[in-house]
Structure 1
Amino acid sequence: MLNRWNPFEMSNGAVALGPIMAKEFDQLFRELSVRQGNARELVPPADIYETAEGITLQVDLPGHDPKAIEVKVENDTLTLRSERKVAERPEKDNARRLERSFGVYARSFVLPRTVDASRVEARYENGVLTLTLPRREESRPRVVEVKVNG
């Protein structure tokens, strides 16, 4: 019986592209940049949490100048931009491995109607930009008192 050869299949039939390799491929594609003219845009990773008070958005921007981080809310879209400048390095010929990305980081998020865009707050600490997006008062859950007759 002939079997189709799979270069990623091991002798026991298991596929070598398991969850670890899939995670690495996800990371690779996440870090791929999009070219726009001569500018290079990178997409920073983000975590989004929802609470009764609103939404918290945490974006990794290590090595960025906090004064150069731009957060803009326009209509129902939140956009953040920042640039990570190339640090001074020894001569390139001495480098054995260069993995850190430099350039413009940008990310946009469509805000739900429940967010009060006029009260968005931003805080940068230890390389993490934390955005607090409070709920509109009318969209907050409210407790209705149950009245008992008799």
Structure 2
Amino acid sequence: MLMRTDPFRELDRLAQQRLGTTARSAVMPMDAYRHEGALLVHLDLPGIDPEPIDLNVEQNVLTVKAERSAQEAKDVDMFLAERPHGIFNREVFLSETLDADHIEASYDAGVLIMRILVAEAKARKIEVSHGGSEKKEITS
């Protein structure tokens, strides 16, 4: 369903996920599975306002971009600041078998859920010409 990517890129993504820094936040954890003729993708985005979440598809690459601003209170002594903030970005490479033109998205309880239909495979018949007969075109 999802296309495999460069293994070194995946290694870099895993390192960022586990060791994210304040300059470059950890990536969004993702689950993806097939259910009832569709691919379901769940992305964890806790504490993010759903309004500025940006979804974009270009050449079978689904890009998810979201931002969590730092909740800095003035005149306080911060003891611990582990929650990542900044811009979160994730690219999902979609295979040709998915219908990238019809993606549904919802956001609930800090989880972005995208539903991508599996495109129907269309069989087509190819006629073969023989002997002195005219060539025939391929029809779909």
Equivalent position to 1:79, from 55, 63, 70: 63
Q: Which has the larger radius of gyration?
A: 1
Give the match's secondary structure for 1:44. Answer: coil
Structure 1 or 2: larger helix share? 1
Q: Which runs of 5+ in 1 are unaligned?
A: 1-26, 140-150
Q: Tell me if structure 2 keeps the 8 A contact 1:57–1:131.
A: yes
Separation of aligned partners in 2, 1:64 and 1:48: 20
CA RMSD of aligned residues (A): 2.6
Residue 124 of structure 1 aligns with which residue?
107
Q: Tell me if structure 1 keeps the 8 A contact 2:25–2:85.
A: no
Q: Does 1:30 align with 2:13?
A: no
Residue 85 of structure 2 aligns with which residue?
102
Residue 38 of structure 2 aligns with which residue?
54
Separation of aligned partners in 1, 2:68 and 2:104: 22
Letter in 2 for 1:132: R
Residue 134 of structure 1 aligns with which residue?
117
Cα shift at 1:87: 1.5
For residues 45-69 of structure 1, the C-alpha deviation after alignment (integer angstroms, 9 at most, x for no partner) is: 1111112412100000111111100
Cα shift at 1:96: 1.9
Q: Which runs of 5+ in 2 are unaligned?
A: 1-13, 123-140
Deviating runs (4+, > 2 A) in structure 1? Answer: 31-35, 39-42, 88-92
Give the match's secondary structure for 1:82. Answer: strand
Q: Tell me if structure 1 keeps the 8 A contact 2:70–2:85.
A: yes
Q: Tell me if structure 2 keeps the 8 A contact 1:42–1:104.
A: no
Identity value in percent: 33
For residues 108-138 of structure 1, the C-alpha deviation after alignment (integer angstroms, 9 at most, x for no partner) is: 0110111000111110111100010111122
For these two proteins, the number of residue pairs brought into alignment is: 110
Instruction: Summarize the Cα distance change of 1:137–1:74 in structure 2 as closer, same or farther, 3 Å threshold.
Output: same
Give TM-score, length-normalised by structure 2: 0.68
Residue 64 of structure 1 aligns with which residue?
48
Cα shift at 1:95: 2.1
Give TM-score, length-normalised by structure 1: 0.64
